[in-house]
Structure 1
């Protein structure tokens, strides 16, 4: 197929194309491309998952990718310039992978911190969420790559996500859930919008005329392409008439012949179809204009500029929560000779949460690696111990693979009668297809030559495992099919005889089985073989058509009681102690919600024991969303790291050792307990025989709820410390003009001893209103340049009528009432430095 196309005359094509061809364009061609009609000059543009990287067209064995910090981390930077730079870097990688349209960013609202995909959005505050998204999109699209803002709308939980009904009032829908989309679309004009899986007040988002046609197109005036989330279309005529242009992925399930039949019965008209096709062809023209070849081979990107940006983004997304005794930054002195690093999140680089955001990173730097490298520069030694387990599943064996590779082989027929037996050393004929992977988690929904390998096939995986510690090891595995796992020719895990299908690989894999193996030797090579078949009932019920897959993890078995005691001894004796804890993709992922806000397993016990002997221990929490911290009063030094992408470890070390002065602010509220979230009683609940989620908290999401209920948080939205101090003076607010445009100015001065940046946060409070309003709402922010000690900067933040307005359910419109408004400015929401009153006379 051609890699380049001439600009399309859309109206001429609409006049000439037969209905059968038009209907073909309404659904994708496979997982990552739109449908192409080469004879008509119509290309198939390529899409790829984000939002924090460009995976490319293969979930299995694709070209490795750069992973940027999780969006909640990027939101915590409060830095629109950084967001734009990240967007530009993503565009460079998209171009290298022949991708025209990125499936991101995500701007759903974390109405409850348990939401499995909460880490994928920038913030539960609609203004911060929408403005960071807009800068990200503008950066991406400045280099000719399109953005797809998602998931439109009220897609805020994973429980029963295809059928859950978000019962949300009009005011909350407008002010909280639609608002980040509205802001981003107004400020950046993304190429596409992706609909959510869920229903909104009884109607699936993919066929919801009110949100797609009445609001998105007519009210907001946006006329880009609307696509479905993958397998997220549940009707034919209704979705097309509502303006859902593109069903993804292909081949079609709800369109095709069904759409043609609907046209025959006049349930659909040619005009209905043409509206959708026109918008799809417009995106095809944007893809043609981008200059990105069609069906291009995929390449990676690795430049010094990219590495610098990844490291900068990792550092700038970090928030310093506590630093009571100025333990940080760790500086070179005669006392810092021995550093203890403790915790389950130290040795493994958790670059991202799970699900669609997960990709094969081109490289990763763990916190332990970053800290060790930084310590060497100071002449300090680092000692490490894990302390406790922190993952649901054993870590992948990637770090212990000889040559870092896994060999996969496929056959269409059983290659031997003994293939699925317990016999070792079975001789097999030449495979019809083989490839080499670099990880022990592979889900083969793609990346296997479908012209050679049938959907139901037989697979062998082989790899050489080299443990780094002698003793007992535990292994756990699940398979995308049924099969057997061998170690040095001995069957260790049977997932063939009586194995049950569980939730892994989106419900298309077995439950995990575990085994313990004694007397393994460090440095010795052990051969692992997995023999399996993909032919299971779960595959027959899906369009995914995976050619098998597996996950294999393991770690050295240790006595947690002994490990905790070892950690305590290290913390007593070290000159500095760093405890790295938190969540990972086992706990935060697409596909499921968390059950509580607790840190995993025995993590709290570990932290408490360490702090008992060393109150100056530096606690680093890594998570994409809030966690409970029952030991917080005892911790004098506390850092929130989020998922930091490729350069997580170096970015963290830069902050801990003072190469970077932290300037991040929490992009969400950390509650003391789950019950403090106003959405707590109505999250993931069932009623009336099917799942409904009642948004009973209304507009009082995150800090809005804490304020109105006067609930003290663990850490407030917008909180973040620095290694220096700042003062705020000379606040002014100009008189609103006839359109309610006004400027807020404030002078920020570095009053400390270290160069640093500060975030100015502007909140609006409406003391007298027709409807109840939040105590304060973020309506503007800006980040200073790096200010040297004694240096100041006057920051100007421009606001408009949206900063004063609320949505009236009664009038069904936005209202900015005349009267006095309080302008509140500070370095965080809970610490307002200055206040002014302005008067708006109304329209």
Structure 2
């Protein structure tokens, strides 16, 4: 047999391989080998390549006890930077870290549309606007692929809610499909050609996307000219023949559920599936392997964390630029690090002060290499000022849906923070040797064991037990709650006293991001301040689960501890503190327990008693700055009563430092909202059509998503799309608009008229003066971020396609259409704040394909 032909990257000769591979070998390539790898063919030198989540950072191949990663700000935060070059840098860092985890394919970015504030994965996407979504995705993909790593753009398409996500039928007009939901993918394919694309779980207009010939072949392959590999979302394949005929090249994960050798070979032999269809799908899988080989990752790579300080510096820069200043009455911000007269007192209050809300939940979540809490960031900033400002803290209100992770609170046997974990073959009380399997020191009490392995267990044996232990020292004498939810069974003991029982009484709940586990069971016990207590959790894996339809994975357990205190007590403590200080910083919002893959939010409210806390504090201290952390909008019923509001998203590793940078003016805020914040949920255009009804969801707002709806009906939002304040001021003038048959060229002068260096985003919207069809009032068509010293002026020039700027989808002609008309060029700082207006004219109406 002749050797495989290679290139400088040791590329596979795909044509040669398709000739040499047997049909069973070809079929084996059409699904993953396991959760993270493609199938190798050693006989012909075809290697396996590795994929890894993701959108917020590169997890690697382990859910349990994996190598920690750097966590990036969430997708909506990345887009809020409105900084194309910075997002390329972020993508390059993702690419570098993928190689350190041995992954040549990153499962991201996510560029679905933030259709509703309630979407569980809204934080993971970029924007309500298709152009901003497409440009943000293109920038991140470009950075990833600059490192020769494959970016897998997802989830194609209309995966904009979690409710019944695997079976929901998304119903929408062809125009909305094209102009809003396909558009971000089309932009990224046109501009950077991501080498892989992941299909969504849902149906579109009656057919699952992963087996839709109309979408995957007619639109994606033929119209968009896409030549990359198409893979399913995990367990998002629903057929053998239909998915192969449609060109779903790779079923993930493995081992296959649908493309088993016997059944698929039988369908080929029966001429139900053409061998040419098999070959074509294999070609794209081998192309993906070739693209993966370009990263030149050694076969024996050992996953490692990126501890380069430059990574943290970039994450801090991205986080700084993502933060949006929404209100700043009386210039209460920035705060001073040092008191000018005497000693200034600041209280930092709220459930997110000493918690690090680095990301939303689900597959985008990961074990961050480190996390800076807002308390740590603010405390360190005060230290820079010589500690002439004093800080005090109060919790004020609980946020946790379940009891909080105590990995950083418990003390392990080595005297450091952590949890000792011992895994056994036999349960506690076993009369004989329990047979120790493995020992670990863990940094979290949220333990998901889907990929737990032990060489001392038989293959496929998922029955085992674990004792999880640590010492707890209370901060105050009080009653404390202990609790656990699980995939399996769990009991929590304090000094050998059973306190919480999730073994003999179990109730179905939504623990774990796929909603497979039990409800958290709690118990309480009185503890004394400063005394050491031994905490032990006895866990049994999935086969011990007592409820029907139990998990097939090895299981997992989440356990936590919290002081048991009535809400009014915690609020009163915070109010008493607020009375004694000059200024109050409240850090509040959501967490990954409330905003996550697997479920949608029930409403836009901040859960618990946070809003009541803020209302009570502003009664006793008018100098309140609220920092909100969430990946999508929440309501602010107290907004008129507080002078300052900062929106900080889920901020990744550096979230505490970035919040402090903005609060104290070391970074002048320049972020802009990547979606509209409505005054109330009922104002959102998707309000009456969000979520599944009898397995269907109707996108009734059509093309009027986000700001396009608010413009159309004349409804004022709380904060408009693209909005964000600065500590300085800017002026736009000298607008010049030029056009030809191909492009529109816009030049505008931007001046920093304030006293501080800062950055402003020039946003360009287009409006048809005499539309012959119902169109949005205006649509974002380009943007640029410009940094200016105090008093400095710069000329900003942007050029974009006249066809892209003026066209809409004409369903009757099945093409894009640009009408003869005069178009306004609206230049502003948000969708609602237009500073300058120019015009250009087109002289004919024409139709085109969109590429």
Q: Identify the match of residue 209 of structure 1 among 213, 225, 240.
A: 213
1:326 is matched with 331
CA contact (8 A) 2:96 2:147 kept: yes
- 1:223, CA displacement in angstroms? 1.1
User: Structure 2: which 5+ runs fail to align?
Assistant: 1-7, 847-851
Residues 50-449 of structure 1 mapped to structure 2, 5 A cutoff: 50-256=54-260, 257-294=262-299, 296-331=301-336, 332-335=338-341, 337-378=344-385, 379=387, 380-402=389-411, 403-412=416-425, 414-415=426-427, 418-419=429-430, 428-449=433-454
Matches of 2:197 and 2:560, distance apart in 1: 37
- Give me the whole-angstrom Cα distance separating, in 1, the residues matched to 2:9 and 2:189: 28
Contact residue 129 and residue 180 of structure 2 kept, 8 A: yes
Counterpart contact for 2:95–2:149, Cα < 8 Å: yes
Counting only pairs closer than 5 Å after superposition, residues 444-459 of structure 1 correspond to structure 2 as 444-449=449-454, 452=457, 454-459=460-465
C-alpha offsets along residues 413-450 of structure 1, whole Å, 9 cap, x if unaligned?
Answer: x356x35xxxxxx8753323343322101111114236
2:839 corresponds to 1:833: no
Contact map agreement 2:506 2:546 (CA 8 A) in 1: no
Q: Is the 8 A contact 1:91 1:141 kept in 2?
A: yes
2:466 maps to 1:460 = yes
* Distance apart, 1:31 and its partner CA: 0.5
Cα displacement string for residues 734-772 of structure 1 (whole angstroms, at most 9, x for unaligned residues): 12x223x12111010000000001100000011222211
Q: Determine the structure 1 residue equivalent to 2:560.
A: 553
Distance 1:478 1:550, change over 3 A: same
Assess if the C-alpha contact under 8 Å between 1:508 and 1:539 holds in 2.
no
**Which residue does the alignment assign to 2:781?**
779
Deviation of residue 677 (structure 1)? 0.9
- CA distance in 1 between counterparts of 2:542 and 2:251 reads 27
Q: TM-score, normalised by structure 1?
A: 0.95
Q: Which residue of 2 aligns with 1:629?
A: 636
Q: Equivalent residue of 2:788, what SS?
A: coil
Query: Does 2:546 match 1:531?
Result: no
Moved more, 550-559 or 16-25: 550-559
More deviation, 578-587/445-454: 445-454
CA positional deviation for 1:533: 3.5
Determine the structure 1 residue equivalent to 2:790: 789
Counterpart-to-counterpart distance in 1, 2:22 and 2:153: 31
2:522 counterpart residue number: 514
Secondary structure of the structure 2 residue equivalent to 1:707: helix
Which residue is equivalent to 1:423?
none
TM alignment of 1:795-810, pairs within 5 A: 795-800=796-801, 801-810=803-812
1:495 maps onto 2:502 in alignment: yes
| 2-structure distance, mates of 1:456, 1:151 | 32
Secondary structure of the 1:758 match is: strand
Query: 1:323-354 CA deviation, whole Å, 9 max, x = no partner?
Result: 01101001233255211000011110010000
Q: State the Cα distance separating 1:295 from its structure 2 match.
A: 5.3
In structure 2, the CA distance between the partners of 1:811 and 1:573, relative to structure 1 (3 Å rule), is same
SS at match of 1:753: coil
Alpha carbons of structure 1 residues 562 and 496: separation in structure 2 relative to 1, 3 Å: closer
Q: What is the alpha-carbon distance in structure 1 between the residues aligned to residue 55 and residue 539 of structure 2? A: 35
CA contact (8 A) 1:49 1:102 kept: yes
Query: In the alignment, is the contact (CA less than 8 A) between 1:71 and 1:119 conserved in 2?
Result: yes
Q: CA deviation at 1:521?
A: 3.2
Is the 8 Å Cα contact of residues 339 and 383 (structure 1) preserved in structure 2? Answer: yes
Cα distance in 2 for partners of 1:194, 1:297 equals 27
Poorly superposed stretches of 4+, deviation over 6 Å: 537-542
- Whole-angstrom distance in 2 between the partners of 1:344 and 1:447: 32
Tell me the distance in 2 between the aligned counterparts of 1:255 and 1:496: 38
Q: 2:807 touches 2:816 (CA, 8 Å); kept in 1?
A: yes
CA contact (8 A) 2:64 2:450 kept: yes
Q: Distance in 2 between matches of 1:518 and 1:142?
A: 57
Q: Distance in 2 between matches of 1:5 and 1:833?
A: 52
Check conservation: 2:490, 2:557, Cα contact below 8 A: no
The answer on whether the counterparts of 1:433 and 1:452 sit within 8 Å (CA) in structure 2 is no
1:810: how far off? 1.6
Q: 2 CA distance for matches of 1:409 and 1:264?
A: 51
Distance 1:522 1:268 in 2: 70
Contact 2:508 2:547 in 1 (8 A): no
Alpha-carbon distance in structure 2 between the residues aligned to 1:405 and 1:768: 66
1:565 maps to 2:572: yes
* Contact 1:501 1:510 survives alignment (8 Å): yes
Aligned to 2:815: 813
| Count, aligned residues | 825
Q: Is the 8 A contact 2:484 2:491 kept in 1?
A: no
Aligned mates of 1:697, 1:465 — CA distance in 2:
54
Contact 2:484 2:490 (8 Å CA) reproduced: no
Residue deviations 1:6-49 (CA, integer Å, cap 9, x gap): 42110010011011000000000110001111221111110000
Distance 1:174 1:634 in 2: 43
CA distance change for structure 1 residues 540 and 294 in 2, over 3 Å: closer, same or farther?
Answer: farther
Moved more, 726-735 or 558-567: 558-567
Secondary structure of the residue aligned to 2:789 is coil
Output one character per residue of 1:63-104: Cα deviation in whole Å (capped at 9) or x when no partner. Answer: 000001001011111011111111111111111111100000
CA contact (8 A) 1:124 1:702 kept: yes
1:465 and 1:708 map into 2 onto residues whose CA distance is 59
- Measure how far apart 1:274 and its partner are: 0.9
Shift of 1:500: 2.7
| TM-superposition CA deviations, 1:119-138 (whole Å, max 9, x none) | 00111100001101101010
Give the superposition deviation at 1:541: 6.2
C-alpha contact 2:733 2:749 (8 A) present in aligned 1:
yes
- Post-superposition Cα deviations, 1:574-618, rounded to whole Å, max 9, x if no partner, equal 122100110001110000000000111111111111122222210
1:702 matched to which residue of 2?
706
Query: How well do the aligned residues superpose, as a CA RMSD in angstroms?
Result: 1.8
SS at match of 1:33: coil
Q: Of 20, 24, 38, which residue of structure 2 is paired with 1:34?
A: 38
Instruction: Could you tell me which runs of 5 or more consecutive residues in structure 1 were left unpaired when the two chains were aligned.
Output: 420-425
Distance 2:384 2:443 in 1: 32
Question: Structure 2 vs 1, CA of residues 631 and 427 (structure 1 numbering), >3 Å: closer, same or farther?
Answer: farther
